[in-house]
Amino acid sequence: MDATVGQIGEAVFAALRTAGYMESTIGQYERSISALRRYVDKRGGAYSPELGARFARLTTSLRTGRFSVQRWFDRRRIVALFDSYVRDGRVELSVRGRGGGGPYPTAPAFTALDASWEADMAERGLAAATREAYGRVARGYLCFLQSQGVVDLADAGGASVLAFLESLSPRWAPSSLFWVVSNFRPFLKFTGRPDLVDAVNLAGAKRSHRIVPVLDDADVRAVVAACASGVVNARDAAITLLALTTGLRACDIIDLRLGDIDWRGRTIGIVQRKTGNPLTLPLPALLAEKLAHYVLHERPTSSDDHVFLRFKAPHVRLADHASVHVVTSRTFRTAGAAHAPVGTRLLRHSAAARMLEAATPLPTIAAVLGHASQESTNGYLAIDQTRLLGCVLPVPSGAQP
């Protein structure tokens, strides 16, 4: 659909007001649309997704000359709305995830390489979270090369890979660099440069195998009590209890649909986003009660059939993992357990710990946690300190310390 920025902008404003957005929020969109109009008018006056993509990549702050997170977010948001109108003839207000962050390269050769890498990942059917992680580190490397005066990968040597990883050390813990390297290596292989792959292998990033943390029993009791008492709204209580009692991943909590709940059988049946495997989980009584109360009394009216929706317009599913973290953090603060390092990973660990304490067999724990392989569950063995102490051999008498 061919249209000017002004025409599409009017459709965007109408959609925002129909969805109940505050005028102050609409004003923020208006500023972005004004900037987009000036950009497009200089290039012919008609909007296109190609022009929108170029506009969204102008993420440098005019005031500081540096990458601006707010500028990146505002422009990406408005371009997504414009593209939905051009594509479908309507403004799609569904909340977008926060993927694809960070600065983008601007050198033509790097822009083309980044686009090819994104297309290759999509063609191979990689999960959105995987594409986000791989794309972010690849763009970071290309932007690093630009900062060094290199604008074509042909001019980059293996030393540039090690220099890039070294530049991350002030912001990344040594134990986390393993994941950076793991996400970086597929891109370097894609470039067809074995010398760059060899260089990243020289980084020597090692994976740490620390004992996973779990919640104290007192914190668990406090959170459950807060959810049961009603001081936490039913949606937040249900989300927290889902993570705490079933160990469900954040992505699967977000994707949960009304049709996935068997109210009579008190179960949830899903296909896991990470593994693609089917999973059926029981609904404990308190969790079932909070879910039912939310669906019947608190859930906004919406055509979106995801269980958990935003309270504010647009009433669509939660955006991403960060949304679940916000909910669980708020619940823990209300319960007086704000000191706990809350997160769905920690809640998964805690769910596994309680199953181990109940002498649940590892294959059963693997099935409940939705692991594709039981090997993934073996890492939780270190949680069971009581049984680990039973494996400690006594020190022989007379042995030197």
CATH 1.10.443.10 applies to domain 217-385? yes
Question: 200-206, long-range: CB within 8 Å, 24+ apart, which pairs?
Answer: 200/161, 200/162, 200/165, 202/158, 202/162, 203/161, 203/162, 203/165, 203/177, 205/165, 205/177, 205/178, 205/180, 205/181, 206/178
Q: Confirm if 243 and 344 have CB atoms less than 8 A apart.
A: yes
Q: Given strand 278-282, what is the order of strands in its sheet? A: 261-262, 267-271, 278-282
pLDDT at residue number 186: 94
pLDDT tens-digit readout, 193-241: 999 999 988 876 665 555 566 778 888 899 999 999 999 999 999 999 9
CA distance 82 to 68: 21
Q: Is the dihedral of CA 131, 132, 137, 143 positive or negative?
A: positive
pLDDT at residue number 68: 80
Residues in the chain, overall count: 401
Helical spans, DSSP H, in 213-320: 217-229, 234-246, 250-255, 285-293
CA distance 323 to 255: 12
pLDDT at residue number 201: 86
pLDDT at residue number 57: 83
Give the global pTM: 0.59
pLDDT at residue number 61: 77
The ranges of the chain with pLDDT < 70 are 1-2, 94-102, 172-175, 204-213, 341-342, 358-360, 362, 367-368, 370-401
The Cα-based distances of 223 to 275, 295, 355, 369 in angstroms read 29, 21, 18, 21
Q: Confirm if 320 and 307 have CB atoms less than 8 A apart.
A: no
pLDDT at residue number 247: 82
Q: Residue ranges of the domains in the chain?
A: 1-96, 97-208, 217-385
> Both tokens of residue 308?
């958990």
Strand-pair partners of 317: 309
pLDDT at residue number 170: 76
pLDDT at residue number 388: 46
CATH of domain 97-208: 1.10.150
> Both tokens of residue 236?
């937040």
